[in-house]
Amino acid sequence: MKAYYYTPETSDLAISKGYTIIRGVLERAGISVISKHESLEQALPENYKQVEQQGRSPLEYVDAIIIEGTDADSEVGYLLAYAIAQKKQALLLLRKGKRSRNPLTSFGRQSLKNLKVVYYDDTNAERLVITFLRTLGDISVKEAPTIKFTLRITPVIERFLHWKTHNTQMTKADYLRNMIEEAIEEDEEFQKYRRRSTEE
Amino acid sequence: MKSSSKKVLLLFGGGASLLDRSGKASEVQNAKDVHAWLRSIPELSLIASVKPMFLYSETSFDAYPKWWKTIAQTITERFKDYDGFIVTQDVDAIPYTAAALSLMLRDIGKPVIITGSSLQSHKSSKAGGSANELAEIGIRANLVNAVQVATLDIGEVAVLFGNRLIRGGNIIRHTTSSLNIFESAGDSVLGRVDFGLKIESNRKKRTNTPPMLSTNLKTRILQMTMIPSAVFPALPDLSAQKIDGIFITGHASFSSEALSRITSLAEKHKIPVGVFVESPIGYSKHFLVVSNMTPIMALTKFMWVLGQGASLFEMQKLLETDIAGELITPNTRRR
């Protein structure tokens, strides 16, 4: 899956940090990330000749456009307009607390079916990007564990974890996280709840 | 968003057919259609504040010069009020309009972007097929790209179609199933639609200089094509026809008998003769040599030069002067 990831020039460190977090999520999800710094030939080795010959926009050949548009420049408006015109899936991320205006407030729902606008900070950026990526298809991505949690366990559980993980690359914490993630995936009620809260 | 303060004037002169979301053809046929049409492309407002102005929807070939003047005058009158201008045109009209506006709006410091739809006008309500799908991709993308270009650092007349921005006076049309139905005759691709819109360093930069408006054209031109060893039919009665000029194309040999016959007859009626050759092969005191430009620009510039009311010598000088980057030098000529 290919995504064009656009970030305007900024001198704001918090916004720059957001750029890095978002790019990290995309890469961990196995997305082939194209940025403004790449040439057409580098970005689309299989399609660039077609782009030239048929007069098409290279954006037609990506699955999604992802924009961190807090410090918006004219390119942000252009990319959003392109996404609407060509019904391209797009995600506009705006950093919380930066007084950035959602440029799509006056648009009807119909125009925005393919366009998602979210406000993010360091704690939820990953979840928001992953949620969007999941709407594009079968994306397998794990959020980086960032929340510290102390858990007291019994000696039996400890012996069990040791038995399951020794001579493997996995840590005891990895094993527990995987078990919980499997439980999440299998829990239909929780999935419904999660979908509802995302739509809101 | 910073871009929202940019103001763009969108002039409708045909070529504004598009398919709406349900697949129905929608076009601007009169002034009443403009706002509904623009509402169907709300995304343009994300790039600039676009003010529409209806001029005409369809016109005959004969009426082109009248509309070129109107377009040029409209842009000049509103030059200070807008950051850029877009003119929609039928595909057939684009090369002529681009050539004419390049000359009429000499040294304009803001972008004048000509674009359009390759969708046929008066299309049946439900269009289909790959050609129309391609065209539909084209018009919306052309408009989005044109509005973006109209806000950028460029100061000249240019054509945007497919993924190329080409200097207005240098375009030639070619038969293709591609969206790039125009190409550059010289080294005058001014920009490309990449992941964003990239403008090249060879474009003229934006200034606040209004154009030197010069809309006079002599349009009653008798065009003749010269073929080696061809016998010319009798010339029409030049004075009765009120011919402004004779424009000769084809493989003109300057020493041919047919050319001498035409020029002496034209001289008797004080009618200038222009001979179009791709590269100059010499000059003559009997006729004007029009060279180093596309055939459409050559004819348009001949009409424009005749309209400047100059002497034959001054007209020849004007033909050799690069007014709007229309001259193609041997180094830049596309092979």
**CB spacing of A85 vs B141 below 8 angstroms:** yes
3-state secondary structure of B256: coil
What is chain A's mean pLDDT, rounded? Answer: 87
Which run of H or of E encompasses B138? helix B129-150
CA distance B249 to B247: 7
Count Cβ atoms below 10 Å from residue A98 Cβ, excluding itself: 14
Q: Which A residues, 101 through 120, put their C-beta within 8 Å of a C-beta on chain B?
A: 101, 103-104, 106-108, 110-111
Q: How far is A168 from chain B (nearest CA, A)?
A: 44
Q: Which pLDDT value is given to residue B1?
A: 46
Q: How far is A52 from chain B (nearest CA, A)?
A: 8
Q: How far is B151 from chain A (nearest CA, A)?
A: 9
B102 in Cβ contact with B157 (< 8 Å): yes
Q: Which pLDDT value is given to residue B123?
A: 43
The answer to whether B301 faces chain A, any CB pair under 8 Å, is: no
B276 in Cβ contact with B247 (< 8 Å): yes
- Per 3-state DSSP, chain A is made up of helix, strand and coil in percentages (nearest 5) of 50, 10, 40
Q: Which A residues, 33 through 72, put their C-beta within 8 Å of a C-beta on chain B?
A: 34, 36, 40, 43, 51-60, 72
Give the count of alpha carbons within 13 A of A41, CB side only: 0
A128 pLDDT more than 70: yes
B335 pLDDT more than 50: no
**Minimal-distance CA residue of chain B relative to A99:** B1
Q: Which pLDDT value is given to residue B125?
A: 38
B248 in Cβ contact with B262 (< 8 Å): yes
Q: How much is the average pLDDT of B28-52?
A: 89
What amino acid is encoded at B190 in this protein? L
Pick from B195, B199, B206 the residue to mutate for testing the A interface (most A CBs within 10 Å): B195
Percent of chain B at pLDDT exceeding 70: 84
Would you state the structure tokens that stand for residue A16, as one six-digit string?
A: 């720059």
**CB spacing of B141 vs A111 below 8 angstroms:** no
The answer to whether B167 faces chain A, any CB pair under 8 Å, is: no
Percent of chain A at pLDDT exceeding 90: 45
**CB spacing of B3 vs A34 below 8 angstroms:** no
B160 pLDDT more than 50: yes
Q: Quick: pLDDT tens for B227-253.
A: 776 666 667 777 777 889 999 988 666
Candidate from A36, A54, A77 with C-beta closest to B179: A54
Q: What is the DSSP letter of B24?
A: B
Give Cβ neighbours of residue A136 (< 8 Å, ≥ 6 apart): A1, A63, A64, A89
**CB spacing of A72 vs B194 below 8 angstroms:** no
Q: Which pLDDT value is given to residue B216?
A: 95
The answer to whether B206 faces chain A, any CB pair under 8 Å, is: no
pTM of the model: 0.82
Q: Quick: pLDDT tens for A129-177.
A: 988 988 887 666 666 677 888 899 999 999 999 999 988 888 899 899 8
Q: Complex ipTM above 0.85? A: no
CA distance B104 to A60: 37
**CB spacing of A55 vs B180 below 8 angstroms:** yes
Pick from B46, B86, B183 the residue to mutate for testing the A interface (most A CBs within 10 Å): B46
The residue whose two tokens read 């070529």 is: B15
Provide the number of CB pairs (under 8 Å) joining chain A to chain B.
Answer: 104
**Minimal-distance CA residue of chain B relative to A38:** B195
Q: Which pLDDT value is given to residue B155?
A: 97
The answer to whether B130 faces chain A, any CB pair under 8 Å, is: no
A40 pLDDT more than 50: yes
The answer to whether A192 faces chain B, any CB pair under 8 Å, is: no
